[in-house]
């Protein structure tokens, strides 16, 4: 019996995906484990293996087209197995028929049907495309999905003869003109003075998640300065004494490696802050999995150093080098960037002195790290030079209160200013 090949769910938030590349054509012989195709997710490109050996037939998903998770994209027939063509996309009844073939006695609501589309309406890509194909303004459809998101069933169940519900009426009354549409913006600029750059899946996901985070997470911020001369001295000594292999040191510690270890130890020292908020429970974690923001083409991704409080600085350094390289190549596995108990964003290498980052759930905190710079400070009534690093802790106030946040950032400062504690 032919084996169905489906589009798998490879990301926690994934409802649709795109096949960016097929490695085999219809009629090709494949072996179980061969890479069949590559999926473009919001955060990476994932290679999907053949689930069986045989002849690949009925490739139904073209490259670059949104496909619902779980949908069949091809079939693999055993050698010599009789071939029965699979139903092609569009062979089933037109889902628009029941929605658009309405009696002539339709009420006035049927005249609202239009091919225009509100980009500020929450909707899945599949629902948005179906509404567009059926000539329905998706802004008129009441969403039953999470946070009012319009899903496929809402579009399929939409009837132009049905009077609007109270919820729909209220939703439409609150609707504002689409300020995010590009056309009104482009009218402000002279033709030929700009270029349009299409949003990538990653950029759209970053925008969506950060808007949700900033809109729904009550942030507060705590900032302090850390003296890092002792840490810089220890780092230099450790790098100078690093063993060599084939003429090269086996590790080279960065300031970021030491920051990761210090923050992990601080979370273990203040376990009440090592938490995640849900509407049902406060989840307290028993280990420190630190997400570290890494800049990649078109956005950023946050690979995770698991159990960072238990790892040596050299281990953290090697892991971060590996994770950073594979993040920029788009080769991280979902398990390497999903989850985490807290995060770090370091812009010090760009000369940024101080900034505040946005908490990205399920994290309850994120530490923004600025550059180390020589400044004049007062010690025992004398002005002396010292190297200071400004850090800002952003916290989800639902899970972490002000005093608790102060304990956490204070513990981090203690570990940074007493760097030998990072080696214990």
CA angle 20, 22, 26 (to 5 degrees): 145
Cα distance between residue 305 and residue 289, in whole Å: 6
Question: At how many degrees (to 10) do helices 255-269 and 313-328 cross?
Answer: 110
Cα–Cα distances in Å, from 357 out to 21, 34, 410?
35, 41, 18
- What does the block give as tokens for 28? 């090709």
Query: By C-alpha distance, which of 205, 268, 284, 261 is closest to 418?
Result: 261
**Cα Dmax for the chain:** 90
Q: Of the listed 219, 285, 363, 397, which one is catalytic? A: 397
Residue 219 among the catalytic residues: no
Residue 161's CB: how many other CB atoms inside 10 A? 12
Do you find a cis peptide bond into 362, omega within 30 degrees of 0?
A: yes
C-alpha 401 chain-centroid distance: 26
The H or E element spanning position 238 is helix 229-240
Cα distance between residue 100 and residue 116, in whole Å: 16
Cα distance between residue 104 and residue 122, in whole Å: 31
Residues facing 368 on adjacent strands = 345, 392
Query: By C-alpha distance, which of 114, 132, 123 is closest to 153?
Result: 123
Residue 88's CB: how many other CB atoms inside 10 A? 9
Cα distance between residue 333 and residue 225, in whole Å: 36
Burial of 85 (0-12, 13-18, 19+ CB in 10 A): exposed
The answer to whether residues 369 and 349 touch, using CB atoms and an 8 Å cutoff, is no
The answer to whether residues 293 and 305 touch, using CB atoms and an 8 Å cutoff, is no
Cα distance between residue 414 and residue 387, in whole Å: 15
- List strands edge to edge, sheet with 35-40: 45-49, 35-40, 16-22, 66-68
Catalytic residues: 397
């Amino acid at each position: 019996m032919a084996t169905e090949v489906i589009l798998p769910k490879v990301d926690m938030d994934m409802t649709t995906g795109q096949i960016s590349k097929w490695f085999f054509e219809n009629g090709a012989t494949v072996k179980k484990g061969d890479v069949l195709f590559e999926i473009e997710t919001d955060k990476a490109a994932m290679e999907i293996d053949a689930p069986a050996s045989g002849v690949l037939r009925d490739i139904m998903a073209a490259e670059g087209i949104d496909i619902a998770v779980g949908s069949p994209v091809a079939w693999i027939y055993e050698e010599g197995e009789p071939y029965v063509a699979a139903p092609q996309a569009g062979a089933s009844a037109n889902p628009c028929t029941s929605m658009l073939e309405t009696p002539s006695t339709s009420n006035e609501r049927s005249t609202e049907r239009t091919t225009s589309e509100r980009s500020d309406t929450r909707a899945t890509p599949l629902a948005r495309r179906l509404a567009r194909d059926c000539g329905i303004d998706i802004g008129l459809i009441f969403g039953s999905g999470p946070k009012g998101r319009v899903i496929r069933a809402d579009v399929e169940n939409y009837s132009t003869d049905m009077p609007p519900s109270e919820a729909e009426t209220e939703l439409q009354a609150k609707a504002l003109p689409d300020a995010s549409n590009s056309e009104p913006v482009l009218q402000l600029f002279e033709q030929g003075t700009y270029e349009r750059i299409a949003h990538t899946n990653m950029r759209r996901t970053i925008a969506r998640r950060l808007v949700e985070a900033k809109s729904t997470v009550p942030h507060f911020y705590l900032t302090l300065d850390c003296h890092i001369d002792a840490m810089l001295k220890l780092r230099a000594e450790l790098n100078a004494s690093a063993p060599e292999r084939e003429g090269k040191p086996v590790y080279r510690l960065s300031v970021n490696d030491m920051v990761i270890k210090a923050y992990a130890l601080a979370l273990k020292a203040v376990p009440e802050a090592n938490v995640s908020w849900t509407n049902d429970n406060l989840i307290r974690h028993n280990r420190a999995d630190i997400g570290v923001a890494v800049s990649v083409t078109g956005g950023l991704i946050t690979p995770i150093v698991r159990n960072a409080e238990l790892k040596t600085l050299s281990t953290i350094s090697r892991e971060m080098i590996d994770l950073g390289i594979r993040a920029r190549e788009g080769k991280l596995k979902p398990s390497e960037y999903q989850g985490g108990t807290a995060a770090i964003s370091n812009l010090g290498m760009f000369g940024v002195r101080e900034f505040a980052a946005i908490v990205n759930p399920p994290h309850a905190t994120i530490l923004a790290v600025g550059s180390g710079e020589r400044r004049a400070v007062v010690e025992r009534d004398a002005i002396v030079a010292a190297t200071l690093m400004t850090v800002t802790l952003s916290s989800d106030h639902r899970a972490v209160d002000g005093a608790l946040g102060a304990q956490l950032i204070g513990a981090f400062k203690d570990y940074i200013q007493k760097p030998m504690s990072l080696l214990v």
